[in-house]
């Protein structure tokens, strides 16, 4: 627990500093790097389990997702054509491989792209979302994203601590034996309170802030369970070991991926 706490104390302020940096470039680069590292962990887990997930194809799509989501510069006109070309090229290459396993390769690759890249790009969208103008702008502050980060961190911290200290009833023992109903409820209420306290940052009324916090709590815990289900299917306990006490990058952002998708929808960023 000490190692986990130390990693959080060092990592959280650094992440907030990069997210809040004016202009949004460090936040965009950070998102692209972390999402690519998380996808690399996912691809490695797939490969170890016998699924030929194509890491470079997937990473290229994730970069395109980030480019499409950022508000720092106009989305290039060639972006849809690039995505379509990548899709065609990927299918052609998989068709021509001597060890053809198109269903396993395409399925595992695209699952990671949609999960990590599609939902992860919502984090970038939040960084450039201006609640006052109800639009994406490179001049926007990082307040909505900071609010979501605080809500998700509150969810994770309280769910972990209460589950560790007082958890007795397993919420999904076949998927994640360590997650408890007590921890889930504590995380839910902590996220709702965090939504109330950060409602101003997200441009919400207090009432809407509580609803946003509660929705993020549900989405975040579903995201956590989804990653646990994927890891169990692939025979892994952690996605990696990059973050001491937390596992891998994907372990750290699993709740955030689902939560950011809900937050972007609620705030009108789609």
Measured CA to CA, the distance from residue 268 to residue 270 in angstroms comes to 6
Q: Taking a C-beta distance cutoff of 8 angstroms, is the pair 229, 177 a contact?
A: no
- pLDDT class for 97, splitting at 50, 70, 90? confident
Q: What is the pLDDT of residues 112-143, one digit of tens each?
A: 999 999 999 999 999 998 887 777 777 778 89
| Residue that has been written with the tokens 């887990």 in this structure | 45
H/E element, 154? helix 143-166
Residue 78 is predicted with a pLDDT of 82
Per-residue pLDDT tens for 64-90?
999 888 877 777 788 888 888 998 999
Q: What is the pLDDT of residues 193-251, one digit of tens each?
A: 999 999 999 999 999 999 999 999 999 999 999 999 999 999 998 887 776 666 789 99
pLDDT for res 245: 61
Quick: pLDDT tens for 9-37.
666 777 887 888 877 888 999 999 999 99
- Average pLDDT over every residue of 174-202: 94
Phi-psi domain of 243 (left: phi exceeds 0; alpha: psi -120 through 50; beta: other) = beta
For the chain, domain boundaries: 2-267
The pLDDT, as a whole number, for residue 123 is: 93
Query: What are the strands, taking DSSP E only, across 49-169?
Result: 129-130, 135-136
Q: Is the pLDDT of residue 258 over 70?
A: yes
pTM more than 0.75? yes
Percent of residues in the chain assigned helix, strand, coil, to nearest 5: 70, 5, 25
Q: What is the pLDDT of residue 70?
A: 85
Whole-number pLDDT of residue 155? 95
Residue 8 has a pLDDT of 61
Contacts of 141 (CB under 8 A, 6+ apart): 20, 130
Q: At what angle do helices 25-48 and 206-234 cross, to 10 degrees?
A: 30
Whether residue 270 has pLDDT greater than 60? no
- CA–CA dist 150, 119 (Å, integer): 18
SS3 54: coil
Per the CB < 8 A criterion, the answer to whether 266 and 131 are in contact is no
CA distance 14 to 35: 17
Distance (Å, whole) CA 122 – CA 139: 18
């Amino acid at each position: 627990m000490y190692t986990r706490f130390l990693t959080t104390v060092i990592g959280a302020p650094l992440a907030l500093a990069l997210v809040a940096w004016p202009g949004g470039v460090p936040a965009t680069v950070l998102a692209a790097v972390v999402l690519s590292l998380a996808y690399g962990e996912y691809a490695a887990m797939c490969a170890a389990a016998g699924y030929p997930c194509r890491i470079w194809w997937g990473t290229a799509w994730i970069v395109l997702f980030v480019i499409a989501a950022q508000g720092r510069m106009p989305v290039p006109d060639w972006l849809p054509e690039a995505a379509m070309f990548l899709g065609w090229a990927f299918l052609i290459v998989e068709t021509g491989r001597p060890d053809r396993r198109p269903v396993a390769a395409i399925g595992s690759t695209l699952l990671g792209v949609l999960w990590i890249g599609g939902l992860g790009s919502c984090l970038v969208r939040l960084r450039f979302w201006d609640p006052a103008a109800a639009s994406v702008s490179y001049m926007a502050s990082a307040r909505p994203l900071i609010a979501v980060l605080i809500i998700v961190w509150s969810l994770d911290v309280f769910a972990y601590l209460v589950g560790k200290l007082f958890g007795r009833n397993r919420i999904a023992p076949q998927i994640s034996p360590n997650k408890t109903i007590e921890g889930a409820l504590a995380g839910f209420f902590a996220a709702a309170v965090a939504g109330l306290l950060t409602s101003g940052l997200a441009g919400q009324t207090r009432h809407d802030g509580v609803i946003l916090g509660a929705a993020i709590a549900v989405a975040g815990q579903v995201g956590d369970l989804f990653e646990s289900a994927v890891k169990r299917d692939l025979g892994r306990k952690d996605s990696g070991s990059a973050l001491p006490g937390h596992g891998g990058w994907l372990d750290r952002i699993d709740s955030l991926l689902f939560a950011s998708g809900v937050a972007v929808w609620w705030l009108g960023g789609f």
